[in-house]
Amino acid sequence: MSDYAFTLCGAQLKARADGALWWPEQRLLCVSDLHLGKSERIARRGGTLLPPYETVETLWRLEEAINQTDPQTVICLGDSFDDISAAHAIDDETRTALVRLQAGREWVWIEGNHDPGPVDLGGAHRAQLKLGPLTFRHITKPDTKGEISGHYHPKAAIAGAARKPCFLVDKVRLILPAFGAYTGGLSARHDVLARAMAPDAIAILTGATATSVPLAACLRR
């Protein structure tokens, strides 16, 4: 797997091709928008029945990232569960998997708009977390430097290629792609993201390798 290395407000970071963020100096792994339990939430609310495997797939991908980086700290950057009821409804297998992943490391759940309250799981629960020059929160705020957020599930495409989840980076902020298996995405060129990012921002596309392109070169779809 090929990562993309960059610097944000003095912190040397790596955008991983799987959509996770790695901060080697702090041995910190960050993922956003897991949306665990999405199929259960949709079924509970009378929606389309989806195969209930997205939680297993998402946790398998997270375990792979943890095994490859051996982090001291893991930050889940909000919307870790599709809603608070989904968090309370997790089965024993999922709970056991999370306990195993948390073992021996600091684990931080950042609150999101889908999961605003603490859940009955291990780890610390924070509205946001400041660490060195960086601030971790779920939704970007104007005039914040060194901010790492998620929420928008950005996706980008270049001519002749399919859309892929992507990181968005400029000199003062980073927006992570959704890490969950059952998550849609917002075009990286959407007006709400154009307002959040500087004109010279880049998109780092995930996939077999992490590839950077100017945000302005991405298609608007």
* Overall domain count for the chain: 1
Pick from 18, 28, 13: which is nearest to 129 by CA?
28
**Within 13 Å of residue 150, how many CA atoms lie on the same side as its CB?**
32
Read off the pLDDT of residues 61-80 as tens digits, 9 standing for 90 and up: 999 999 999 999 999 999 88
- For residue 44, name the pLDDT band (cuts at 50, 70, 90): very low
Using an 8 Å Cβ cutoff, are 111 and 125 in contact? yes
Q: Distance of CA 98 to CAs 16, 119, 121, 141, Å?
A: 21, 12, 8, 30
> Which amino acid is present at 166?
C
Give the SS3 label for residue 28: strand
pLDDT value at position 47? 45
pLDDT value at position 88? 65
pLDDT value at position 66? 98
Give the other-Cβ count within 10 Å of 211's Cβ: 18
pLDDT value at position 54? 76
Pick from 123, 39, 53: which is nearest to 86 by CA?
39
Report the CATH number that the domain containing residue 131 is assigned in CATH. 3.60.21
Tell me the residue range of the domain where 63 lies. Answer: 4-217
Using an 8 Å Cβ cutoff, are 32 and 76 in contact? yes
Question: Which is more confidently placed, 219 or 174?
Answer: 174
